[in-house]
Amino acid sequence: MALNPESPCVNICVMDADSGLCVGCLRSIDEIVAWGGLASEARRALMKALPERKARLGAQALKRLEILNRARPNRL
């Protein structure tokens, strides 16, 4: 595992109104803003939480993500 995890940003910046998460990177606005100042341990913890967030993200948001992925292949 990298000592300083890279950003999970995939340049698909669409906020899901229901969850408050970005459909592309699965972070909240506060997490996106804070990312640059987070310690490596905090970044790893957030990265570890992303698969669970994707699983709970609503079907509508996942459908939007699928549409965006088709428009921008090889992003996720």
Question: 13-40: per-residue pLDDT in tens?
Answer: 888 888 899 988 999 999 999 999 999 9
Share of residues in the chain with pLDDT > 70 (%): 88
Q: Is the pLDDT of residue 4 over 60?
A: no
Which letter, b or e, does each residue of 16-32 get, where b requires 16 or more Cβ atoms within 10 Å of its Cβ? beeeebbbbbbbbeebb
Q: Is the pLDDT of residue 9 over 90?
A: yes
Judged by phi (left if over 0) then psi (alpha if -120 to 50, else beta), residue 20 lies in: left
Q: CA-to-CA distance for 20 and 10, rounded, in angstroms?
A: 17
Look at residue 58 and give its three-state secondary structure.
coil
Global confidence as pTM: 0.72
